[in-house]
Amino acid sequence: MSLNFALCSAKSCANVQMCIVFYYTLIYLYLSSELHLWCSTFKAILNLLIFLQKRAVRIIAEVAYLKHTMPLFKDLHIFPFANLYYFCLGQFMYKQIFHTAPVTIIPEVLNRDIHTYCT
């Protein structure tokens, strides 16, 4: 809640681009840094995070409470939470497949040495 309050306070004295910078500094960092933990949590907590992200986007765009947010995400070039998860998952798998990640977990995931059948 306090992140949106800070964003709302900044909106009164800053333009849209500055508010987007505040968004990436305050909210995006919070969502993306623990993304692997957020996506394994309960649906009620995820809904709260999605709600807070949508509220932040509405504050930045200065629109009404009931305004649909998907066009706002596109206009502001901000990933919605679900797309952010898929983007980070895609980056992770790319790094695993092409062996550019610091630690490769693909052999553990595939279990080729344990089973002769697909698991």
Domain ranges (residues) in the chain:
2-80
Q: Answer whether residue 118 shows pLDDT above 70.
A: no
Give the whole-angstrom CA distance, residue 45 versus residue 41.
Answer: 7
Q: What integer pLDDT is reported at residue 68 of this predicted model?
A: 94
118 Cβ contact list (under 8 Å, min separation 6): none
Give the whole-angstrom CA distance, residue 118 versus residue 111.
Answer: 8
Give the whole-angstrom CA distance, residue 109 versus residue 44.
Answer: 29
Q: Where are the alpha helices (DSSP H) in the chain?
A: 2-11, 16-23, 29-33, 35-38, 43-61, 70-76, 81-97, 106-110
Residue 15 vs residue 73, higher pLDDT: 73
Question: pTM for this structure?
Answer: 0.73
